[in-house]
Amino acid sequence: MTSILWVEGSPKGQRSLSSSCARAFLDTLDDVEITHLDVWSDEIVSFGREAALAKLGPLFGEPHTPDQAAIWERVTAQIEQVASHDALLISSPMWNWSIPHALKAWIDVVVQPLQSFTLDAEGRHVGTLGVGKRAQLILTRSSAYDGRSPEMEDHQEPYLRYLFEFLGFDLAESVIVEPTTAFTPEEREALAAEAVERSRAAARSFATAASAD
Ligand SMILES: Cc1cc2nc3c(=O)[nH]c(=O)nc-3n(C[C@H](O)[C@H](O)[C@H](O)COP(=O)(O)O)c2cc1C
């Protein structure tokens, strides 16, 4: 049995297209144990002043204060949740060319020096959290692109791919659903059906690659 952590980036629940695609992806996989993480829930550590001080304090020889130690215990638990799964599924809409702030907030918790990545002898970053784990991105965007600055238009897929590869994950080809702004119900239904079908196909490839490992 493969365990998979589904990190849901859209707050729209049943009305989210990226979440519907993620559910279709997961329904297609056999013999999986799924954990669902809603990044909009109170489960996510709020990474504010004490956490920011706690993150770098030990590198500068400053031990954690009791408040910092308490928050770091929660940060560590969130990292361990990722570490304890075999695979990761991230579903997310594009928000202002990037990702929703709640998904970024979760990323700010789980990406930590020494706990999710380290440095090699030459001082280069080496991811540890994702080593031996596969990951899938399912991403939606309405594609309000006008072509004027193509290099600035997508801070969603390249960012997430860079980040999770940096952590050591083996990333599958992303499912990218665009343009999601269709003006008639028929067009929206056709788009959703096609996106769900592509997510199912991605799940079949994901399962095949996992069994070949
Ligand atoms: C706050 C906000 C910002 C958005 N920004 C963008 C954007 O920069 N580019 C884009 O193509 N779509 C943008 N969209 C549209 C969503 O990406 C699109 O509707 C997507 O299909 C929603 O996916 P979901 O149903 O899974 O939430 C934005 C939507 C919201 C709510």
Please tell me the predicted confidence (pLDDT) of residue 213.
66
Please tell me the predicted confidence (pLDDT) of residue 208.
85
CA of 84 to the centre of ligand 1 (A): 31
CA of 153 to the centre of ligand 1 (A): 13
Atom number of ligand 1 nearest to Cα 21? 26
Q: From CA 101, how far away is CA 191, in angstroms rounded?
A: 26
Does residue 17 have a known ligand-binding role? yes
Does residue 46 have a known ligand-binding role? no
Residues counted in the chain: 213
Q: What is the pLDDT along the chain (213 residues), one digit of tens a residue?
A: 899 999 999 999 999 999 999 999 999 999 999 999 999 999 899 999 999 999 988 878 889 999 999 999 999 999 999 999 999 999 999 999 999 999 999 999 999 999 999 988 998 999 999 999 999 999 999 986 777 887 788 999 999 999 999 999 999 999 999 989 888 999 999 999 999 999 999 999 998 887 666
Residue with tokens 């343009």: 179
CA of 27 to the centre of ligand 1 (A): 24
Does residue 205 have a known ligand-binding role? no
Atom number of ligand 1 nearest to Cα 16? 25
* Dihedral sign of CA atoms 38, 39, 40, 46 in order: positive
CA of 115 to the centre of ligand 1 (A): 32
Q: What is the CATH number of the domain that holds 89?
A: 3.40.50.360
Atom number of ligand 1 nearest to Cα 177? 21
The domain containing residue 135 runs over which residues?
2-212
Please tell me the predicted confidence (pLDDT) of residue 58.
81
Pocket-testing residue among 7, 94, 156, 189, ligand 1, by greatest number of atoms within 8 A of Cβ: 94
Residues with CB under 6 A from ligand 1: 10, 12, 16-19, 93-97, 140-144, 180
Atom number of ligand 1 nearest to Cα 97? 8
CA distances from 10 to 81, 169, 184, 198 (A): 20, 22, 22, 19
In this structure, which residue's CA is closest to atom 7 in ligand 1?
A: 96
Within the chain, where are the H helices?
A: 17-28, 49-56, 66-83, 101-110, 157-166, 185-212
Structurally, how many domains does the chain consist of?
Answer: 1
Q: From CA 57, how far away is CA 50, in angstroms rounded?
A: 10
